[in-house]
Structure 1
Amino acid sequence: MDDNGVQVTTGGGDAELDTRLGKELDAFNQAATAGHEQAEFTVRITDADGDLVAGLSGWSWGDRAGIGMTWVREDSRGGGWGTRLLEAAEAEARRRGCVTILVSSFTFQAPAFYARHGYEEQARVPGFPAGHEDVYLLKRL
């Protein structure tokens, strides 16, 4: 603690802090972009037993959308589930009036998959993480 009573703490994951930061940044962003609503969406695919096969989380902000996370269960990869996730996410983005959708994918993940579905590379961050790259792709809807 410094002379003014201020304390800086560094630690591991902090769900409470993440929640607070999210709320504070959302409020700031909404005020700065009045009239452009931010909203999250998800796509869930389950099997006959109700187990998760694949999922996607995304967001829309005004007339733009983004994909935050996409995942397909290992034993279900190659079965077209990723395509179904993208189609559903893109349909939801269009329903919300979005004109583009953005995604980032590490080179060891799925940038080629997104490119096959019409996403075009916009930027690439080399060495992130070490030995790989973070690829940003955009699709016009």
Structure 2
Amino acid sequence: MSTGQQPPVSASLQVGGKDDALEQRLDDELTAFNARATGAGDPVPFSVRVTDSGDELVGGLTAWVWGSLCAIDMLWVREDQRHAGWGGKLLRAAEEEGARRGCTEAIVSSFTFQAPGFYQRRGYRESGRTEGIPGGHQDVHFHKALTAPR
């Protein structure tokens, strides 16, 4: 009786440091698998940045769009400019860009020592937590429905 599975190949397992070629191959393979499974195509990255008059970075955000999903990867504001509204402006710009690109949902996560309240105040609802973050912290996962651009 055949299960349709191939027997494992003879291979060696190796543990090493950062491997850019491996990372790219895994990204390519998983992106192709995800596209076949969802029909959503490849994720498309984008960024939002704020610079001061001297062209120094005040803050920035990286994100990606995949089908109808906008995922915020990283959001950072320079320490001397925190609480000046830049975080909210960066996030709003990313949400608007995601909606412009057809997204109806946004996701983001924040460690408990970072800014989970920031996202909650901007309409994100907690959708889960991951334990085991160093220092006894958690990774808080958030979701928000986006509105179509006006």
Q: Please report the TM-score for the alignment, with normalisation by the length of structure 1.
A: 0.89
Distance in 2 separating the partners of 1:127 and 1:100: 27
In 1, Cα distance between equivalents of 2:46 and 2:61: 8
Q: 5+ residue gaps in structure 1? A: none
**What does residue 67 of structure 1 align with?**
72
Shift of 1:117: 0.7
Residue 139, structure 1, aligned to residue 150, structure 2: no
Query: Structure 1 residues 87, 129: CA separation in 2 closer, same or farther (over 3 Å shift)?
Result: same
| 1:47 and 2:52 matched | yes
* TM-superposed deviation, 1:88: 0.5
The answer to which of 83-92 and 23-32 deviates more is: 23-32
In structure 2, distance between residues paired with 1:111 and 1:11: 34
Q: 51-60 or 27-36, which moves further after superposition?
A: 27-36
Per the TM alignment, residue 37 of structure 1 is displaced from its structure 2 partner at its CA by: 4.9
Distance in 2 (alpha carbons) for counterparts of 1:35 and 1:90: 19
1:31-75 Cα shifts (integer Å, max 9, x gaps): 222255521111111111212111111111111111111111122
The residue aligned with 1:120 is 125
Q: Is the aligned partner of 1:104 residue 2:113?
A: no
- Cα distance in 1, alignment partners of residues 99 and 70 from structure 2: 9
State which structure, 1 or 2, has the greater radius of gyration over its C-alpha atoms.
Answer: 2
Counterpart residue type for residue 85 of structure 1:
L
The structural deviation recorded for 1:24 is 1.5
SS of match in other structure, 1:12:
coil
| Number of matched pairs | 138
Q: Alignment partner for residue 134 of structure 2, among 112, 129, 136?
A: 129
Which ranges in structure 2 are unaligned for 5 or more consecutive residues?
Answer: 1-9
Percent sequence identity is 51
Which of the numbers 1, 15, 19 marks the counterpart of 1:14? 19
TM-score scaled by length of structure 2: 0.84
2:63 to 53, 58, 62: 58
Q: Which moves more between the two structures, 43-52 or 98-107?
A: 43-52
